[in-house]
A and B are shown apart, each in its own frame.
Chain A
Amino acid sequence: MAVARPGLPAATTAGETAGGIPPSAWITALVLVIMPALASDFFLVQVFGWALVLGTIALSLQFLAGYGGMVSLVQMTVAGFAGYMVAILGTSGLTQISLGWPFWLAVPVAILLAVLFGTLSGALAVRTAGIYTIMITLAIAAAFFYFTRQNETVFGGFLGFNGVRAPVFWGIDWRSPVPFYYLCLGWAAIAWGLVVWVVRAPFGLALQGIRDNPRRMAALGFDVTAHRIAAYAFAAFLAAPAGILLTWMNGQIAPGTVGIGPVIDILVIAVVGGLGRPIGPFIGALLYVLLRIFALDALVALGLSGQRFQLLIGLGFLVTVLFSPDGILGLWERARHRWSAPLNRGGR
C-alpha cells in the first residue's frame, strides 16, 4: 500500500517556523470552540463529538503510518481495550463484573493498561514490514474481538457492558452535550498538538529517519526496534482516552465496538483524510460520520436499503485511493496550489 510520505521537518531550524500558524487554523480553532453556540445538541455530540473521537483514534494510526511507516490496524482495538477497562474497573450495569472504582482511579489505570496493550502489540508487529504489519495487527484486533465475544467472566461476552456512565464532578454531568463536546475537543486538540510537537522533537525525527532508512539509522547508533515500539506506545496513549470517550458517549462497550468493521473504518478514515498531516484523520472522520448519519436518509429516500451506507464509504475509499493517494488533504493542497500559482505569477 502506498503511504503518502510527509517531508521530514527540520530539526535544527525548529525555532524559526514555529510561530507561523496560518489564519485558517485560527479560524478553525475559533469555530470549534464556539460550536456549542452554533450547533444543536445532536450535532454537538453525534456529529462533532463522534468525529473528534474517531479522528483521534485515526490520528494514532496516522502517526504510526505517516511518520513511522507502520500501518497498524490495532489502534481501534487499543481504544476499545481502554473502554473495556473503564467499564471493568469503574461502574457499569454489569455489577457482578465491574469493580466500582472511582473514575479518577479507573480512567488513568485504564489508559495505562491500554498503553501496555498497544506497546505489546507493537512489540509483536515491529519485526515485520509492509503488508505483514497490517496482517499481524489485524490478527491481534480479530483475536481481541473474538475473545471479548466469548469471555463472559471478565469482558461480559456478546452483550458487553451497558450503563457505563461518564463521571459527574464539579457539579457538571460530563456526558451532557456541551461538557462532553469539550471533553472530546480537548483530547483531540491535545493529541493533535502532541503529534505536531513530537514529530519535530528528536524522538519523532529519528522515527521518520527509521521510516525512510532503517538500515542507515542502525548504522548511526539508533535501536530501530526499540524506537518503533516506543512509537506504538505513544500512539496507544493517543488512542486510549479516545476509546474511553467513545464508551461514555455510547454509554456501553461491546464486541461490536472492536469488531473488524470498526477496525477497518479507522484505516479508511485515516487514508481518506490523508496520512500526510495530523489534521487529515479529523477531516476523514467528519466525512465518515456525516456519511454514516445522512447517507442512510438519502438512501432510504431513493428507495434503497439504509444498510448501503457501507457501500458509499467503500466507494469513497476506492475513489480516494485511486485518484488521491494522499487523501482529501492532498486533493485540497493540489487544488490550492493550482489556484494560487497563476495568481502569484500574475504579480497581483
Chain B
Amino acid sequence: MARAIAERLSATGTVNALELRGVTKRFGALLALDDVTLSVRPGERRAILGSNGAGKTTLLNCITGDFPASSGTIRFFGEDVTRFPAHERIRRGLRRTYQISLLFGGLSVLDNVYLACLGVSRGRFSLLRPRRDDALVESARALVHAVHLDEVAEKKVAELAHGQQRQLEVALALAGAPRFLLFDEPAAGLSPAERADLVAILQGLPAHMGYVIIEHDMDVALRVVESVTLMHEGRIFKEGTPEEIEADPEVQELYLGHGRG
C-alpha cells in the first residue's frame, strides 16, 4: 500500500513530503522569509538551524498555515496546500509542536491528547460522550505511554513540570496518523536527562515519519537528523549533512561560533 502510493507519487515526479518553492513572508516592511525553496523527502529527518530572527519559526508557521505565505507555493506529498487553512493540512497528516507550549492547562494530560486524537478523526461534532473503552481514548492512552507520561496522565497540565509539558507537546503532534512532523525547539528549557529522553523519543519514531526540527542544541539536533538546512535573515544559507555543516568554516563563524548549545 505504502509502496503503491510512493510509486504513484514518483510517477508524477512529486515524491517529496515537503516541497517549498519561492516561499516569501512579509510582515509589513519586514521580510521574514525571502524566497525559500526547500524539499524534504518522505521519511527524511532534517534540522533547520539559524540564529534568532533567521525565520525558522516563521517558516514552520507558513508550512502549517498558522499564517499564510505572502507568495510562493507549498506542496505536501505532492498536493498544493498553499491556500489550505491549517486544519486541512493537519488532516492530511502534517503535525507540529510549538516553541512555547500551547496546551490546555485546565485539562488533564489524557484529555489534551484525547482532543488531539479527536481533531484528526471523525466525530469532531459528536454529541455523544466517549465511553471508557472508546477507540480514541485508547489511542490517547497509548500516546501518553509513548511519551513516558503515564504517571501524570490524570493530572492537570497546568500542574506539570516544564519538561513534561514539552513531552506532551510531542504527544499532541503524534496523534492520529502523522505523515510528517515539524518540531519547533522541542528541547528548549529541558534538563540534560530530559534531553536524552527526548532524543530517545525522536529516534524511536517509525522510520516512515520524517520531520523537520528547529533546535538550538547541537547535541540534540545533530543526533536526530540526517540533513541540515541553515537559515540566515530569512534565506536558506546552506544545506548539507550534519558532518559537512559542522566542518564548514563559514558556518562555524556565523552560527556555531556564538557559543550556543
Contacts and interface: CB of A to CB of B under 8 A. Distances in A.
Interface of A: 5, 7-8, 10-15, 197-198, 200-203, 205-206, 209, 212-213, 215-224, 227, 230
B96 A212 contact: no
Interface string B78-122: 000000011100110000101000111111101100111011100
A221 B120 contact: yes
A11 B119 contact: no
B111 A201 contact: no
Contacts of A220: 87, 90, 115-116, 118-120, 172, 175
Nearest to B91: A221
B85 A205 contact: no
Nearest to A18: B129
B86 A202 contact: no
Contacts of B105: 212
Interface stretch (B18-26, B27-35, B130-138, B212-220): B130-138
A81 to B, nearest CB: 24
18 contacts: A7-B106, A8-B106, A10-B111, A15-B129, A198-B127, A202-B126, A202-B128, A202-B129, A203-B127, A205-B111, A206-B118, A213-B103, A215-B66, A220-B90, A220-B116, A220-B172, A221-B87, A221-B90
A10 B123 CA distance: 17
A8 B111 contact: yes
B127 A222 contact: no
A209 B112 CA distance: 9
Interface residues of B, number: 41
Nearest to A194: B127
B3 interface: no
A8 B104 contact: yes
B226 interface: no
B176 interface: yes
* Most chain B beta-carbon neighbours within 10 Å: one of A12, A15, A216: A12
Contacts of A212: 104-106
A298 to B, nearest CB: 42
Given A219-B90, A221-B91, A227 B116 contact: no
* Most chain B beta-carbon neighbours within 10 Å: one of A202, A215, A217, A230: A202
A209 B129 contact: no
B167 interface: no
A7 B128 CA distance: 20
Nearest to A6: B106
A35 B114 CA distance: 43
A11 B111 CA distance: 6
A12 B129 contact: no
Contacts of B66: 215, 218-219
Contacts of B85: 218, 223
Given A206-B118, A220-B115, A227 B128 contact: no
Contact of B129 (A197, A213, A217, A224): A197
Given A213-B104, A220-B172, A227-B125, A14 B90 contact: no
